[in-house]
């Protein structure tokens, strides 16, 4: 399953980079592969540790720049409560909605927009203009229950 996630993420990355005229460098590709292969969201220093095994000594700013590039292209999500990153291999509007298991760390992205639509309507009724949505629900997954 992890390999399929990596392939899907890389295909989406190639498509988005081609469309935007941006480069998917070897470093950015490796960072994306590392995050996409992980079954749970990864912190920047976890990515740095794995990347250093592949490339040798790597500085944290290098990883943070790559993560930011991938976030900007919608190839990653930032899971705020975990201060970690999760690859996204689906071409959809990036309104981050996650179910996060407190026991095992499994994180499931929800792609249905009903929660976000409710939040958009509520914000609009208050004259508020949101620029980003993040909904994170923590609990226990079926495996850990």
pTM for this predicted structure: 0.81
CATH of 96-139, one of 3.30.1490.190, 3.50.50.60, 3.30.70.260, 3.40.1190.10: 3.30.1490.190
Cα 116 to Cα 97: distance, rounded to the nearest angstrom = 8
pLDDT in tens, 54-82: 999 999 999 999 999 999 898 998 998 89
Cβ atoms of residues 83 and 74 within 8 Å: no
CATH class of the 2-87 domain in this structure: mainly alpha
The predicted pLDDT at position 55 comes to 93
Structure tokens at 33: 């592969």
Domain boundaries, the chain: 2-87, 96-139
pLDDT in tens, 33-47: 999 999 899 999 999
Closest CA to 43 of 53, 58, 31: 31
Q: What residues are paired with 79 via a beta bridge?
A: 84
């Amino acid at each position: 399953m992890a390999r399929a996630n990596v392939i899907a993420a890389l295909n989406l990355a190639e498509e988005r980079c081609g469309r935007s005229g941006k480069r998917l460098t070897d470093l950015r590709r490796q960072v994306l592969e590392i995050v996409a292969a992980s079954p749970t969201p990864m912190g920047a220093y976890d990515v740095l540790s794995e990347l250093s095994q592949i490339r040798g000594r790597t500085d944290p700013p290098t990883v943070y720049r790559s993560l930011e590039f991938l976030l900007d292209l919608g190839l990653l999500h930032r899971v705020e409560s975990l201060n970690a990153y999760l690859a996204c291999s689906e071409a959809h509007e990036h309104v981050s909605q996650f179910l996060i298991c407190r026991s095992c760390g499994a994180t499931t992205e929800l792609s249905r927009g009903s929660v976000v639509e409710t939040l958009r309507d509520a914000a609009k009724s208050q004259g508020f203009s949101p620029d980003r949505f993040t909904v994170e629900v923590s609990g226990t997954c079926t495996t850990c229950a």
